[in-house]
Amino acid sequence: MEGERARSAHTVRAYLADVESLLGFAVAEGVQELGQLQLGSLRRWLGAQSESGMARATLARRAATARSFTGWALREELIGTDPAVRLQAPKRDKSLPGVLQQQQIARMVDDLNTAAADGGPMALRNRAMVELLYATGIRVGELAGLDIDDLDPDRRTLRVVGKGNKERTVPFGVPAAVAVDDWLRRGRPAVVTAASGPALFLGVRGNRVDPRQVRAVVNKLLQALGDTSATGPHALRHSAATHLLDGGADLRAVQEILGHSSLATTQIYTHVSVDRLRKSYQQAHPRA
């Protein structure tokens, strides 16, 4: 997965944990060799987790793990037949992602601007990170992986390496450009060390910022709003996509910006927009 499919370290860890769970369940059922693994065991493994209340999205991933693992075992001639060929996964819930209103984004930015006015390097960094997350809709891991050379300030574009090592170019607006420039001029030089390398965003000790640090910053800002259930940097990604579509952006353009391999993934944001439209209709139309 890591070498051939270029999956992230987080995804590899999740799949390894799934395989350990599967094999542990099989051993408990009396399976002693990989060749003894059968479709029934795989189905009972998923069924037991479903009964324990596991989310459908996680069950779907675990079914995919089982298929990938047994497919690999077959290619390596560790088993004679693939028991997961007919293993079906539950469909993922089509829940609408948490989205911030534009007024909430504005309040968040106001708080960031107030903090950055004091000139502290971390305040300047936080403003630049949040502005860039919302302006581009990039993932938190993509943000943490940015280097200074990935920025093209003249064209206001960003080179992003996404899932599967796929590269894309994403535009961003003037507020994000100003915030990032402020961080590079006044914030980054105050914390940079010999170990910083080309990393765009740094932690207090000068190392490349960790995605967990970014999540902590965004969660604190969202909690301070007090009127949203949205959590984490992905809420900014969801919000950017929805606001682009609400503003009339083409669906395929949004797909390219977000780095989705399938248009179907991007279409969930049209459901968000339609849901908002329906609520507005019900509130305003006299015969709704």
Whole-number Å distance between alpha carbons of 64 and 81: 17
Whole-number Å distance between alpha carbons of 158 and 42: 44
Active site residue 238: no
Catalytic-role residue among 163, 186, 271, 276:
163
Whole-number Å distance between alpha carbons of 107 and 239: 14
From the CB of residue 4, how many other CB atoms can be counted at a distance below 10 Å?
Answer: 6
CA-nearest of 16, 95, 90, 84 to 51 is 90
Catalytic-role residue among 67, 125, 188, 237:
237
Catalytic-role residue among 44, 186, 234, 276:
234
Whole-number Å distance between alpha carbons of 18 and 3: 19
Question: What is the sign of the dihedral through the CA atoms of 123, 129, 130 and 135?
Answer: positive
Quickly list DSSP for 255-287: HHHHT-SSHHHHTHHHHHHHHHHHHHHHHH-TT
List alpha helices for the chain, DSSP H. Answer: 9-28, 39-51, 56-75, 102-116, 121-136, 140-144, 174-182, 188-191, 211-225, 233-246, 251-258, 263-266, 268-284
Whole-number Å distance between alpha carbons of 144 and 211: 6
Active site residue 279: no
Active site residue 260: yes
Q: What angle separates helix 233-246 from helix 251-258, to the nearest 10 degrees?
A: 160
Whole-number Å distance between alpha carbons of 181 and 192: 15
Catalytic-role residue among 67, 125, 127, 139:
139
Active site residue 139: yes
Q: What are φ and ψ of residue 38, in 5° steps?
A: -125, 165
Catalytic-role residue among 127, 188, 238, 260:
260
For tokens 């065991």, what's the residue? 41
Active site residue 234: yes
Active site residue 281: no
User: Active-site residues: which are they?
Assistant: 139, 163, 234, 237, 260, 269
